[in-house]
Structure 1
Amino acid sequence: MSEMVATAPSPIDLAGMVAQLYRLLNDRPDCPSQEEIRRACDILFSSSLLKEEGRPVRARVILAPPDAFPLSDGPPDGVHAIRFTTPHAFSSNEIKRLSPAASFFHSAVAVWPDRDRGLRIWGILNTGPRWMNLVAGGRKPASHSILHPIIHVRDPGWLLFYHDYQLIGEWRGREFYGPRLDVFQSRLLRERFAHLRLHLVQELGDKCLPQTLSQEDYSELCHLVSLQFVKRVINLVRTSGHGGTVVFLPSTGVDGDPFRWIDCKYTSESDEAGRRFPHLMKKIIRRVGQLCPEGSTIEDAWQVFRTSKDAELDRLEEAFFELARFFSDLMLVDGAMVLDQGVRVLGFGGEIQVSHNVFRVFQAHDLDGTVLTDWNVQSDGTRHRAVYRLCSVEPGVIGFVISQDSQVRMIANVEDSVMFWMHSMV
């Protein structure tokens, strides 16, 4: 793999991020100056280090003028803007005070220059939680775009910078980073589960699936919906503040024995109850096929899945994501949750028992895993090192590790080298 190792993309710095934010705003004559944006970043970084009644400050702050939002709008299809009669000082203490009222997942504090007084807090925007579906899994998309920069005060010393709900940079501790990867778009995930998706569609056959979509499109729909499910599981573990591990074993098990390398305290029976995921998946893609007009494409089917108000599809979504919540709860038990590639629970509370250590691991900086750098394995905790060891002896395994600090990594073996991808988050 040495020929694949390359220099990691250079992290951006605060000056570069300030310049980028300014470019997004300078189409207006009253936009904040680069110095004001720089000061805003400093204020928000300082606010992240404070506590509100014993809780870390967590907030979203948007750089946008009051006239950017309609007076009579609101979630789930728009933004509800509450404008203060008197703009308030933009300070770290004021962000701390407002953070409970501007709930991180539902609202944002709005900031814009007020004549010659610099940046001021002019109101609170209620955006609703649908924006989370982009990273946390969920059927209904945000039906509105916010084309202004939003800065997330995520945790102590941790800011994330977004534009139109896309992550453009991250300030963590003393270091700046460009946007991380959405690992769910990787070719690795698509290819390793392709045969199972096709098998699931073939099980339904022509008699059960409407002919509005091709077999290939139904298989792709399975892939897209499955990603939503795994995103939801991982996000629920992240927001629990506990951390956890899930490993997907090859469909044949590890050398025919799923527990050769993993000692699970709790194992599950191999019965129909364990096949709830594929049962629900079949019902979902069949219902989407029924709702699609003749000759639909995969893009049409995906829009139907995300936007339809069909009562049966709503019921299936509720069942699907309740299963995701159940899986996330199993991950809160110490040890790994073990799934096969058909997303059947084999066990949880698993202790990975691979005796030898892994001394060389790569971090992938692109989705295809072609831009790699060496990673210091000793800087990682026991969860990560355990999955590294498992992937070193079983190349077909894919693992996700969620740290207590909300970091998410996907770990796999590619061409006899263990590597990981850092996943984008909010």
Structure 2
Amino acid sequence: MISKNKTPKHLAESVCAELRKRHLSFPDEKIIIDLFETIYFSSLKTEESEPVKFHMVFMDPSVPDPKPPRNARKDRWSFIPFADPIPFTVSNLVKIAKSSELRTTSFVVWPDKDDALLIWGLVDQQNLFHKFLNRSAEIKTERPGLFQVSVEAIGVIEVYMRYEKVAELRIHELIRNSLDIFRESPVRELLAPGIETHLQAVKSHLADDMYYGDGHLDELHTQQWLSVLCRILLRIQKFKKGGALLITPDVNTPDLNIKYRIDYSRLRTSLMTNAVTKIKSEYLENILLELSEAKEKEISSQQFYQLRKFEKDLRANKNEIDGVIWFVAILTRVDGLVVMDQNLDVQGYGVEIMTSQEPSNLYLATDRMATTAKLKPASYNHFGTRHRSMMRYCFRHPGSIGFVISQDGEVRVITKVGERLMIWENIKLKYYSYASKKKTITHGETDPTDKTKV
């Protein structure tokens, strides 16, 4: 009988296949398999009763920076070698795991001349990557190494090449493609009314000539709206306590017992203010640039100070949005769910779902569009109390979207599509792309999209 369980060997083979597709040279595949097996078995250990988590880059220490940029950023990464390389073993990884952290530091791993894997040192300044991945920064930064690996939990290993997620081993399941339901899907369609209200509110605060372009600004601010929702879910996920968030067009139904009723609209208003300020700032910046190039008129001090004020307001507004995200996420730690309307206004928390009618059907959507041919029947009783209550509500109230976060960090999305109740797993929340079959990047090459805004 052939086992359906995936192993570190399968993950290594997937990574090697991607390296070949990109025409990148790398050590023997057996070394890559040994690398991921050691990483996997290390992730099963504990240190002082805590799970072992660490981050590493697979990078040749003899040529750590093959093509340095001409004008390097001040906060660019650097390689800090150990005086004596450390053998890459489970016991050694467990001992030094806490000296790595995705926000700042990663181990450098590479085989020596005898093909023995060693930890050669560290790379620093990983902060901007972490912020961009979690949707709280707008600029991509260069990443070191051939590929990067993160151990996120027991048996959970993620592999990246630059900003592309190559694969993920989750215990015994190999995941090559998360579902981006926030791009185009039934879920995205249900979020559309809130997004459209946001865009109209932004336009109402601007002169007609400021909101320009063929849908570019619409798409930009739509993505920012969606990013904030994803950041709330990511923050709940980080708590490792589990939680639930319900977006519903009718918050006054008797099927919701709202224990702590509030009307918190600050997420909506801060997002609108951020978008308006950005557009005004860019508009003024373009005017000043044109004046400077034409040399027809000097820039007035009033215009200069107005631009500085916009920049100051944007920094303050970013901090405001960060604080609101924390506020909303923390509400989910109270027993019960957090309920929002379609504009992301929080209407209450500690909410209990009262309906007891079980859904007559349940399907697992294996693609983002919930294509009929790709649906898998699922068992309602297979899920826990939090999931089942959300399923009951969403089946009874079409147009509602339930987000349920398990203690292990898994995020599931539930809604009704037609007469079918759908559940999506393995949702893409972080800002990364998946490896493109048409794209080939040479190791060390500068990606022209390194300043993409989200």
Q: CA deviation at 1:168?
A: 2.5
Aligned residue in 2 for 1:62: 57
One of 46, 53, 76 as aligned partner of 2:41: 46
- Counterpart of 1:365, as a letter, is T
Alignment of 1:66-145 (within 5 A): 66=61, 67-69=63-65, 77-145=75-143
CA–CA distance in 1 between the matches of 2:6 and 2:176?
6
* Percent of residue pairs bearing the same amino acid type: 23
**1:228 matches 2:227:** yes
Q: CA deviation at 1:125?
A: 1.6
**1:305 matched to which residue of 2?**
none
> Is it true that 1:239 corresponds to 2:233 in the alignment?
no
Which of residues 20, 34, 37 in structure 1 aligns to 2:14?
20
SS at match of 2:428: coil
* Structure 2: segments with no counterpart, 5+ residues: 287-309, 431-454
Residue 152 of structure 1 corresponds to which residue in structure 2?
150
Partner Cα distance (2:40, 2:153) in 1? 10
Q: CA deviation at 1:266?
A: 0.5
Distance 1:326 1:353, change over 3 A: same
In the superposition, the TM-score normalised over structure 1's length comes to 0.84
The 5-angstrom pairing of residues 184-333 of structure 1 reads 184-205=182-203, 208-209=206-207, 211-214=209-212, 216-250=215-249, 253=250, 258-269=252-263, 274-293=264-283, 310-333=311-334
Query: Retained in 1: the 8 A contact 2:105–2:125?
Result: yes
2:392 paired residue number: 389
Question: What root-mean-square deviation, in Å, do the aligned CA atoms of Structure 1 and Structure 2 show?
Answer: 2.9
State the distance in 2 between where 1:149 and 1:112 align.
11
Q: Would the alpha carbon gap of residues 236 and 76 (structure 1) be closer, same or farther in structure 2, given more than 3 Å must change?
A: farther
Deviations 1:289-341 (A, max 9, x none): 11324999xxxxxxxxxxxx932211111101110100001111111000001
Cα distance, 1:206 vs structure 2: 5.5
Please tell me whether the aligned partners of residues 59 and 153 of structure 1 are also in contact (alpha carbons under 8 angstroms).
yes
Which residue identity does 2:222 align to in structure 1? Answer: H
Partners of 1:81 and 1:332 in 2: CA distance: 40
1:361 paired with 2:362, answer yes
Q: SS of 1:214's equivalent?
A: coil
How far has the Cα of 1:16 moved from its partner?
4.4
The 5 Å alignment of 1:333-372 reads 333-358=334-359, 360-370=361-371, 371-372=374-375
Is 1:33–2:25 an aligned residue pair? no
Partner Cα distance (1:96, 1:263) in 2:
46
- Closer/same/farther in 2, CA of residues 171 and 207 from structure 1, 3 Å limit: closer
Offset, 1:281: 1.9
- Aligned to 2:339, what secondary structure does the other structure show? strand
Q: Structure 1: which amino acid aligns with 2:244?
A: T
Unaligned runs of 5+ in 1: 1-9, 297-308
Give, as a single letter, the amino acid of the residue that structure 2 aligns with 1:164. R
Q: Is the 8 A contact 2:152 2:158 kept in 1?
A: yes
Asked if 2 retains the 8 angstrom alpha-carbon contact of 1:32 and 1:119, the reply is: no
From the superposition, tell whether residues 149 and 376 of structure 1 become closer, same or farther in structure 2 (CA, over 3 Å).
farther
Question: Against the structure 1 CA distance between its residues 359 and 205, is the aligned structure 2 distance closer, same or farther, given a 3 Å change threshold?
Answer: closer
For structure 1, which segment, 337-346 or 66-75, has the greater mean C-alpha deviation from structure 2 after superposition?
Answer: 66-75
Q: Take 1:381 and 1:187, find their aligned partners in 2: how far apart are those partners? A: 26
**SS in structure 1 opposite 2:137?**
coil
Contact 1:246 1:339 in 2 (8 A): yes
Q: Deviations over 1:84-116 (max 9, x none)?
A: 232210011111122111123332211111111
- Larger Rg computed on CA atoms: 2
How many matched pairs? Answer: 395
Q: Distance in 2 between matches of 1:187 and 1:57?
A: 36
Bigger RCO of structures 1 and 2 (CA < 8 A, at least 6 apart): 2
Task: Give 3-state SS (helix, strand or coil) of 2:314's partner.
Answer: helix
- Work out the CA distance in 1 between the residues paired with 2:343 and 2:229: 12
Alignment partners' CA distance in 2, 1:186 and 1:390: 24
CA distance 1:231–1:157, shift in 2 (3 Å): same
* Separation of aligned partners in 2, 1:28 and 1:82: 24
Normalization by structure 2: what TM-score? Answer: 0.79
Deviates more, 1:326-335 or 1:52-61: 52-61
Contact 2:6 2:172 survives alignment (8 Å): no
> Counterpart of 1:409 in 2: which secondary structure?
strand
- Deviates further, 170-179 or 325-334: 170-179
CA distance in 2, matches of 1:64, 1:359: 53
Q: Describe how 1:388-407 pairs up with structure 2 within 5 A.
A: 388-407=391-410
- Assess if the C-alpha contact under 8 Å between 1:76 and 1:128 holds in 2: no
TM-aligned CA distance change 1:425 to 1:280, over 3 Å = closer
Structure 1 residues 107 and 363: alpha-carbon distance in aligned structure 2, compared to 1, 3 A threshold = farther
Distance in structure 1 (CA, Å) of the matches to 2:283 and 2:203 = 19
Distance 1:175 1:53 in 2: 28
2:160 and 2:378 map into 1 onto residues whose CA distance is 27
Q: What is aligned with 1:301?
A: none
The worse-fitting range, judged by mean Cα deviation, of 69-78 and 111-120 is 69-78
**Secondary structure, in 3 states, of the residue corresponding to 1:116?**
coil
Pick closer, same or farther for the CA change 1:59–1:338 going to 2, 3 Å. Answer: same
Q: 1 CA distance for matches of 2:254 and 2:55?
A: 46
CA contact (8 A) 2:267 2:345 kept: yes
